Amino acid sequence: MKFFKLFKKELRDLMTLQTLISLVAFVGIFMLLGTVMSDVGKDMNDKMGSAVVCDRDQSQLSKQAIAMLEKAGLKITQIQGEKSEDLITKAYEIDEHTCVAVIPKGFEQGVKNSKVQEIQIVSALKSFSMMSNSDKSAQNVADIIKETISSSIIQQANPNLNAEYIKNPIKTTDITVVAGKSETINSDMLLSFAMQQSIFIPIIVFLLITMASQLNVAAIANEKNDKTLETLLSAPVSRLSVLGAKMCASGVFSLLMAGVYMFGFSSYMNGMMGGMGAPEEAMNTTGISDALANLGLKLGAGQYALIGVQLFLTILIALAISMILGALAKDLKSAQSLVMPLMFLTMIPYFVTMFLDVNSLPLVGKVLIYLIPFTHTFTASSNLLFGNYTMFFIGMVYQIVVLIIVMIMAVRVFSTDKIFTMTLEFGKKKKHTV
């Protein structure tokens, strides 16, 4: 009986209104992500039902191949152009396709001469998110054409033909387009390699915000609960100095932890890349690295400096908010509940930017995501690499404005003696004494 009473008491202490609100918010986040991913999946299915083709051969065989694609249920739109960049621009205007299948000149003659023919897959890479390269309609076109021609060759039953040619009469060449530049390389391979190199930036941002906020909130709540905050703020030191010292200390410690993580992650990446073993794989890595450089997808010293400035602004915003939350906490347990909304505001852009390109979202979703100041740091490297400088600097200005607002609020909280008694509690009535 006593056990159940203790159990009810502990459960009641844990299941506070703040905790329930946090749980509801957590469910809401995943519902939002689920809706977004559902829309992305629907968009992928819609694009697989259509395709953009550039027929440079204009032969009877190429026209028959396009007719076969339409017979297979694909809605085919034909465009013309010599440059890969121009083809991508035209394709995007048609149902926002980001890839084009190109049938080369001499296609029919090459098949008649029993020579393997190449179909170019021209793809646009607009971000490093996991779903940024989801349009596979051009590859679908190449697969159907390959299967059709292979079946036709088999029906001819020519014993002089090579068995390997009969199975694979068509091969594909991948061309990736980024911000007006193109390279002959597979976009999926490029995306995978680039993600391995750049994924540590959003992870570090997430860890920095999380660690800095939790350290600050816990420190303020403990000092308030132990009555040492009252002694500290009564000392002959300006309260602004106390606020600044606490923020700087938390920031330095968080940066130190991030540095340790960066060193560990760098060692992991070097070990993984060094463990590839085969010289051919090492050459492929070098080729991908060169392609990234040629496409302008490698950060320079100036770009790293800009990301550092935005990261610093993000840490300051998180620290200022956590200072206010810590001052509103009654004790360490309530501090953990109060910091949850800040964690959610960090998790939302972290997961969204991991899977999706924010700029590709509908206007309402884009505005809601960009209203979270931390989003601009998660998208900083992508915006700089893909030439979205306007969005980058708008985000930086927005963060400065948010920082000024929360700093003013933090200074006002610490400049009043109400900080010693103020708390934020839900669901509890104040006791009145007669």
The DSSP 8-state label assigned to residue 161 in this structure reads S
Joined tokens for residue 291: 């392609």
Q: Taking all residues of the chain, what is their mean pLDDT, rounded to a whole number?
A: 76
Residues counted in the chain: 434
In a domain, 79, yes or no: yes
The most distant pair of C-alpha atoms in the chain lies apart, rounded to whole Å, by 107
Residue pLDDT, tens place only, 399-420: 999 989 988 888 887 777 666 5
* Beta strands 75-78; 99-103: pairing state: unpaired
Angle in degrees, 0-180, between the axes of helices 17-48 and 137-156, rounded to the nearest 10: 40
For the cut 70, the answer to whether the pLDDT of residue 76 exceeds it is yes
SS3 call for 143: helix
Contact of 184 with 290, CB cutoff 8 Å: no
The reported pLDDT for the residue numbered 279 is 42
For the cut 80, the answer to whether the pLDDT of residue 66 exceeds it is yes
The reported pLDDT for the residue numbered 158 is 63
Residues 140 and 212 in one domain: no
Rg of the chain (C-alpha set): 29
- Picking from 234, 210, 422, the residue whose alpha carbon sits closest to that of residue 336 is 210
Residues 169 and 255 in one domain: no
41-45, 133-137, 162-166, 337-341: least confident range: 41-45
Residues 184 and 206 in one domain: no
Structural domain boundaries, residue 117: 50-192
Q: What is the mean pLDDT of residues 206-211?
A: 77
The reported pLDDT for the residue numbered 276 is 44
Last residue of a domain, one of 166, 192, 218: 192
In a domain, 4, yes or no: no
Domain count, the chain: 2
- Residues β-bridged to residue 103: 55
Residues 330 and 216 in one domain: yes
The reported pLDDT for the residue numbered 269 is 53
C-alpha distances in Å from residue 289, one per residue of 269, 282, 295: 14, 11, 10
Residue pLDDT, tens place only, 242-260: 777 777 777 677 667 666 6
For the cut 80, the answer to whether the pLDDT of residue 271 exceeds it is no
Give the whole-angstrom CA distance, residue 37 versus residue 47: 15
C-alpha distances in Å from residue 87, one per residue of 134, 243, 252, 410: 18, 56, 49, 53
The reported pLDDT for the residue numbered 430 is 46
The DSSP 8-state label assigned to residue 288 in this structure reads H
Q: What is the CATH number of the domain that holds 118?
A: 3.40.1710.10
Residues 66 and 94 in one domain: yes
Give the whole-angstrom CA distance, residue 240 versus residue 227: 19
Residues 54 and 148 in one domain: yes
Contact of 246 with 216, CB cutoff 8 Å: yes
pLDDT band for 398, please (50, 70, 90 cuts): very high
The reported pLDDT for the residue numbered 393 is 93
pLDDT band for 432, please (50, 70, 90 cuts): very low
Beta-carbon contacts of 171 under 8 Å, excluding residues fewer than 6 positions away, are 116, 117, 118, 119
